[in-house]
Amino acid sequence: MPLEDDLFVNDDLDNSAENRLNHVLFGLFLKDEYRREILRRLGVAQDAIIYKPSNRSWGRPDFAMESRHGDTLGYIEVELDKDLGQLAHYQANAEASVYSFGREKRDHNITLQELVGIGECIVENDPAPQFELMVRHFAKQVSEAAGNRKAPPPGPVQAQLKTPLGKALLKVGMVNWGEEPIRPGKLYGRTNGPDGISVRVFAPKRKGSDKTVGLLNITAGRPVVRFAIHSHLAGYLHDNKRAALDEWADFIEQQLDGDIRITGTRHCPIDLSVVEDNVDDMLEAMLPLC
C-alpha cells in the first residue's frame, strides 16, 4: 500500500477542468470491475492499486499504479491535449511506464470516451444507482472538458456483423443502431466501439430517451457473451413479457448452461462458441422479448 506521505490530497478543483475530471475518475476506480478493465487494457496486473501520488523528481503524474507488495507498476497521466510536452517529459524521465488517457486514440492508450464506454457497459449489466450516477457524472465531465460538446451516442455495429452471431441477428431482422426509430417488435444492435455489440429490445419502463435494454453484449471482441440478469430485464421490460422472460431464462439454463436468475451477480458470461453452436435456438427464444 502507498505510504501516507505519497498520497496527494491538494487537488485544485476550482481552476482546473482536468483535475475535476480526474477527481470523478478516481471515484470510478472504487468499482472493482471498472478498475480491473482499465488495468487489463493497460497490460498491468489487475490487482494493482490506483492512487493519486505526491511529487516525483520528474514531476507529479495524475495517478500511480502500485502492486500489493508496494512495487510501482506505472503511472497514468490524463490529458486534455493542452500540454502534451509535459506528457512526453514524464515518459522520458519516469522510472516506470507512463500511460495516458486523452481525446485521440492515436496519441493515448485509452480515450476519454472509451473510459465513459467502459462504465456504461458495466452499468448495462449492473444497474447499481450510485455507480450509474458516477458514470453519468463522468460522461458530463468529459463532455464539458471537451468544450461543452456532447459525448457521441452509441453507434452502429461494425465488425461484429461479420461474425456468425452478427449474421444470424441480421437474418432475423435486427436493426443496426440509428437505422430506425425504437419501437416494440424489433431487435436493435448498437456499440460503443468497432469490435463490440449490445443486442437490445424495447424497454418501456426505462427513463430518459434511450428506451432500450440490453439482453446480451460482447465487449471489445472478447470471446465471451455476457447475458443480462433476469431481475435487471424484469425492471425494464413490459409486464406482459414476464412469461417470455422466464422462458428465456429457462433456455439459457437448459441449453447454454448458464443462469441469469442468480442473485448478487452483474451478468452471466457464456463462451461465444457455445452461443454460436446454439444461435438459431437462442434467437427463437429471444424474439418473444422484443
Which of 87, 50, 101 has the alpha carbon at shortest distance from 72? 50
- The Cα 249–Cα 242 span in angstroms is 11
CB of 258 closer than 8 Å to CB of 250: no
- Tell the burial category of 8 from Cβ atoms under 10 Å away from its Cβ (0-12, 13-18, 19+): middle
Exposure string of 264-290, with b = 16+ CB inside 10 Å and e = fewer, is eebbbebebebbeebbeebbebbbebb
6-52 pLDDT tens trace: 888 887 777 678 888 899 999 999 999 999 999 999 999 999 999 99
Q: What are the tens digits of pLDDT across the range 56-87? A: 999 999 999 999 889 999 999 998 866 667 78
What is the C-alpha to C-alpha distance for residues 98 and 35, in angstroms, rounded to an integer? 17
Q: What are phi and psi of 149, to 5 degrees?
A: -85, 135
* Cβ neighbours of 223 (radius 10 Å): 10
Give the angle 74-110-80 at the CA atoms, nearest 5°.
Answer: 95
pTM over 0.85: no
Q: What is the pLDDT along the chain (290 residues), one digit of tens a residue?
A: 788 888 888 877 776 788 888 999 999 999 999 999 999 999 999 999 999 999 999 999 999 999 988 999 999 999 886 666 778 888 989 999 999 998 877 778 999 999 999 999 898 888 888 999 999 999 988 887 765 444 456 889 988 999 999 999 999 999 999 898 899 999 999 987 778 899 999 999 887 778 999 999 998 667 899 999 999 899 999 999 999 999 999 999 999 999 999 876 678 999 999 999 999 999 999 999 99
Cβ-in-10-Å burial (0-12, 13-18, 19+) of 216 comes to: buried
Q: The C-alpha cell of 144 is what?
A: 464539458
